[in-house]
Amino acid sequence: MFAFDTGTGRRDASALINITEVLKSRKLAEEVVNSLPAEVIQEFGFSDHSLPDLSLEKLIADQLQKNLRVNSVLSSDILRIKIQSGSPVAATVIANTYVERIIDWNLRTKREEITSVRDFVEMQLAVFRDKLTAAEDTLRAFKEENPMISLRDRHTEILKRATDAEVRYNEAQAEVAAQRQRKRDVERKIRELSPSHILAPSPLEADLRAKQQG
């Protein structure tokens, strides 16, 4: 069984549908096949006559897809993964391997999304830095061209221009500060992202892997 946290604090139907499709995909089935010990593949058993044009890897992946069952638990973000096999040991190892591969996929997807957001934030930060520099130049040029004077007929116009320049400067400064904070938030999310929910191997799986290594 694999518990999928959508990060929303509630049931997210679209996220569950998406991850279910990935679980049932050929690509993930092939990743699972490449991760399985040879003993487990032998224990699982498969027909070698149904799809003669496929390679051994693709043939086993096809059989895994046919024997995989993914069901959502009512009113939750939990997906139950089941493998139909004559060998309980093989079924357990394969199901756990599916869990490991889907968690890896989920982590890769989140990292790619966060990296995309970080790139966008950095691009926006550069834009706002340019705006801030332009606002600083405008304000400095205005002050250089309009030193303190006492002519009443120009007082209102000068005051308005000075206020507009300072407003643009303050807005640009605030935008830069906001983008810097967003960048810090994205970097924090990257640091926090870790495969902390991968299931530990079952005793049966550990025994099989130990025999394989021995």
pLDDT in tens, 146-177: 665 544 545 555 556 656 666 776 776 777 77
43 and 87 belong to one structural domain: yes
Q: Could you tell me the pLDDT band of residue 201, with boundaries at 50, 70 and 90?
A: very low
57: pLDDT strictly greater than 60: yes
Top-confidence residue, 146 or 14: 14
118 and 90 belong to one structural domain: no
- Give the rounded percent of residues in the chain with a pLDDT score beyond 90: 7
24 and 63 belong to one structural domain: yes
104: pLDDT strictly greater than 50: yes
17 and 68 belong to one structural domain: yes
50: pLDDT strictly greater than 70: no
* Enclosing domain of residue 209: 2-109+198-213
Cβ-based burial of 93 (10 A; exposed 0-12, middle 13-18, buried ≥19): buried
155 and 134 belong to one structural domain: yes
Angstrom distance (rounded) from CA 121 to CA 141: 30
Task: State mean pLDDT over 61-84.
Answer: 85
Q: Percentage helix, strand, coil, to 5, in the chain? A: 70, 5, 25
93 and 182 belong to one structural domain: no
189: pLDDT strictly greater than 50: yes
151 and 206 belong to one structural domain: no
105 and 205 belong to one structural domain: yes
Tell me: the pLDDT tens digits for 23-33? 999 999 999 99
Please give the tally of structural domains in the chain: 2
C-alpha closest to that of 135 among 175, 178, 177, 168: 168
Q: What is the pLDDT of residue 26?
A: 92
90: pLDDT strictly greater than 80: yes
Angstrom distance (rounded) from CA 89 to CA 125: 54
Q: Is 208 helix (H, G, I), strand (E, B) or coil?
A: helix
